[in-house]
Amino acid sequence: MDGAIVNNTPISQAVALGADRIIVLPALSAASLRRPPRGVLAAGVAAVSRALTYRLVEDLARYRHDVELVVLPAPEVDGIMPTDFGHAEELVSEGLRRGREVLRRDRRVVPLRQAA
């Protein structure tokens, strides 16, 4: 389920509904920016992205003992935002490749960098 902006990855709602295993496919990476945003709009997008991933990191820590959490890595395609639908095929392919790689290794939580 998609939680929109306030609770982008609604782990708390899934737990409240009785989920015992939650698989998260984040669209945004929690990785540090490789280069500073250029311009006001880019800075705003970067700030919103940080806010969204912060809530996810908090919920992963809060619910890690209550449910099985599997966090697939977000696509990391340098310079392409997840809202750039002109590159949707590239983003989906990279997300699929990275997700398959993680699921082949194990099904434990793959921590976001900030959650570690």
Q: Encode the chain in three state secondary structure.
A: CCCCCCCCCCHHHHHHCCCCEEEECCCCCCCCCCCCCCCHHHHHHHHHHHHHHHHHHHHHHHHCCCCEEEECCCCCCCCCCCCCHHHHHHHHHHHHHHHHHHHHHCCCCCCCHHHC
Is there a domain that residue 28 lies in?
A: yes
Is there a domain that residue 84 lies in?
A: yes
Domain count, the chain: 1
114: pLDDT strictly greater than 50:
no
Is there a domain that residue 15 lies in?
A: yes
36-89: per-residue pLDDT in tens?
778 888 788 778 777 777 888 888 899 989 998 888 877 777 767 666 778 888
Is there a domain that residue 52 lies in?
A: yes
Domain, as residue range, for 78: 11-115
In this predicted model, which residue has the larger pLDDT, 92 or 33? 92
Is there a domain that residue 2 lies in?
A: no
Is there a domain that residue 56 lies in?
A: yes
